[in-house]
Amino acid sequence: MGAAQPPEPPAVDAAEATAVREALVRQIAAEGGFDGDPGWRAAFEEVPRHLFVPYYFIGTTTGFERLWGEDPDPGRRSRWLRGAYADTPLATRVRDGELISSSSQPSLMARMLVELGVRDGDAVLEIGAGTGYNAALLAYRLGDELVTTVDLDPEITESARRHLEVAGYRPTVVTGDGALGCAERAPYDRIIATCTLTTVPRAWPAQCSAGARILAPLATGLIVLEVRDGEHAEGRFLHTPAYFVPLRGGNREAEWEPYIGGLPRRALHSELFRFLLTLTRGVLDPHEALALWQREGRPVRERFGVTVSGQDVWAWLDDPAGPYTWPLP
């Protein structure tokens, strides 16, 4: 028997698909999304996002509405296709009314890939397979054999693998706990996470080569760590805000209300203050965090950083040696 053939991609209007994909790429470029590494523009031009989101959900007043590429209504199929190339995140997996997987906003993906700073020949580990789209972009740029993507949920990895096959890419897709990395494919020159963390797993630097880079959403920001060796990594946050599904799934927004009770409305409306609250949660009382934020002149994200040293991981403001440092769990 011959090798199994990948499933057929959903039937779409090829001209419309090309037009909306080109429009998305132009929009990302116009906003500076490829600045610093224009090589990523070709990846976004060539990898068709709609093959990775054969269906997705949009929020409504009563829950979620499902759009899919094989809808018998041509108007709804066109709506699905145009939505697949909108510069917005797409909810791709909902369980019991809770979002557990999504396809990230393309312009944010582009900025993250640029900041990852890949070079030809780099081996990359992606934490959070999602739809497989980000892994496809990496595989286009670096080659299948240098890309590994891992996710805890076997339904997600199986779906990502199918999408990748349909699009013609075959990076290594692993079902496993992303917090543990993927030791059998190490060492890595780059690690990129597409799910929000509460700390930096110590397994990640240990699976990196010296001089590697780790980029991950932490709190509501993006941390970029330079790896000195398997025991040490350090870096600062980018200015870019970032909101992703948590590493282990779940929706923690509901826990905010009792935690932030009594804080001034003006402070809570500040995205930067909420970043500090999230970063120091469990260490600083919310009112202590507010006092620090005001005393230090409402610090921007780039003043904060993270250090990994042996078994210790901590966040800091301005200087990893203090006076403002907070252990991460």
Q: Which amino acid is at 8?
A: E
- Residues forming a β-bridge with 103: 90
Residue 137 contacts residue 163 (beta carbons within 8 Å): no
Tokens of 33: 């999304």
Burial 128-148 (b: 16+ CB within 10 A, else e): bbbbbbbbbbbbbbbebebbb
Contact between residue 178 and residue 247 where contact means Cβ atoms under 8 Å apart: yes
Number of CB atoms found within 10 A of residue 319's CB: 11
Angle, CA of 201, 327 and 186, to the nearest 5°? 15
Exposed/middle/buried for 323, CB within 10 Å: 0-12, 13-18, 19+? exposed
Residues carrying an active site annotation = 101
